[in-house]
Structure 1
Amino acid sequence: MSRYGGRDGGAGHGGAPESGADAEAAAVSCTGLRYSFGESTAVDGLDLTVRSGEVFGLLGPNGAGKTTAIRCITTLLPVPKGMARVFGLDVAADRMRVRRLLGYVPQQLSADSGLTGRENVSLFARVFDVPRRERRARVDQALEAVGLADAADRLAKTYSGGMVRRLELAQALVSAPRLLILDEPTIGLDPIARTVVWEHIMAVRAATGMTVLVTTHYMDEADQYCDRVALMHKGRVRASGTPRELTDDLRARRGGGPAPTLEDVFRDVAGSGLNEEGGEFRDVRRTRTTASRVG
């Protein structure tokens, strides 16, 4: 079993499975998930299954409902019972137990620039109720896992954009999650920094067996790193499968020809609605703010 809990022990403090969690259940299961902001429906009957241990990509244009769906799954937005489960636990009825299974890196930056890397991760260890006797070791392990051990005692404001994203990954890993949820983890990063962040994500996943649910607008990332993907549009999943299955299906529907890419599948699913459903002003502002801070 890995030092982060691993496939056998599951997440949770000391490696014990969270009470009530079903080790055989899907990591995430959404059935008819709906969420609206006033009269605007963001998630409209979402059916989604993420298998335990896989890297799953949730793709779609701005305004498709990806971030809202993630906030429902992470219990940050309230939903009725029965619509979403994490390892068999209902996110509405078992909010605290669900949260103990999660590590979450939001689209907005969560690191405090006035603290050192070690202080940022230590803060999250306390927030996630990592036992006091384990905190120092857990913090050191998380920083080591993302390659920040040598920079741990520097202020976060001196970090590059890629280092900040890796610091946020360490914050999410310190509680030894069974499910790591990443909302556009490489937004605003250059290609080299993006690769480094993903190398650390995949290394921790290989060592622990944790499940990874990620949203990204970089189709090359989804194609290279995700076992399966789902493409959302207007609040629903319009296509899902392995990247190869989706591109093969599109090629067959086109009657052959050159092999399409996952980006071609993305355009096919979103269609002409991309121009009309590109998200709201606040989505663009939030994305540009995050990108400017990590750039």
Structure 2
Amino acid sequence: MGFSITTWNINSVRLRMPIVEQLVLKHRPDILCLQETKVTNDLFPAAPLRAMGYNHIIIHGQKGYHGVAIASRIPLAEDHRQDYCGVGDARHISAIFEHGNRRVRLHNFYVPAGGDEPDRTINPKFGHKLDFIEEMKLLKANGEANTSAILVGDLNIAPLEHDVWSHKQLLKIVSHTPVETEGLLEVMKRGAWLDLMRQHVPENEKLYTWWSYRAKDWEAADRGRRLDHIWSSSDLGPHLKRIEILKEARGWDRPSDHVPVTAHFDF
């Protein structure tokens, strides 16, 4: 029995519903997690998703900013929205699903980008990001009895040397500064999370999920970063079959600057 889950920062779900439909019709993941939906709950475009078989949808939206959603072919239960940093941003949602005799808690995150200047004394957005990561250190992969866990989302940090096109040149660029990368690795360590994207791709190989809109020819330049992640509790690691990064989606009509990432399991 197989199972697949896709995570994608869609950068406005209403604007980009055509490419969401393109993804689903071609790849048909069991669960689709979206970030940066940029829409209130009442205006979320659920109808097209239901028409494609995603009858179980939970959303945590916000007008014009942030927003996360889970659309599933599998029933979802016990949904929860955590207000990280207590500022009211729609950046987290979680739910329980059952598949292959497993009970799984799924977390969908949109971590703050952090602005341009990596100094919290002059850039409150960067301070907010660091505080958000600090709170994430409390999240445990084995935090619920008899329940596996999967964490996905745009975490806005490329933690490893080869998660960026140039480690040396990006050390002072937000998303790859040491305070961020060390913080995210500590989230993984304290919570006993597995980095599934690196399970089958060695750490010395380049791996990207995001290419800037600012690049005139993003594909030729290939100056990417791995900002999108899929983690799990240790018991699911042996059940990972493969990870797919749909790089071609960056070249679709009116694309997001992020591309879909899909994990395929054998449970």
How would you bin the TM-score normalised by the shorter chain?
0.3 to 0.5
Q: TM-score, normalised by structure 2?
A: 0.35
Q: Which has the higher contact order (CA 8 A, sep 6+)?
A: 1
Q: TM-score, normalised by structure 1?
A: 0.33
User: Of the two, which has the highest radius of gyration?
Assistant: 1
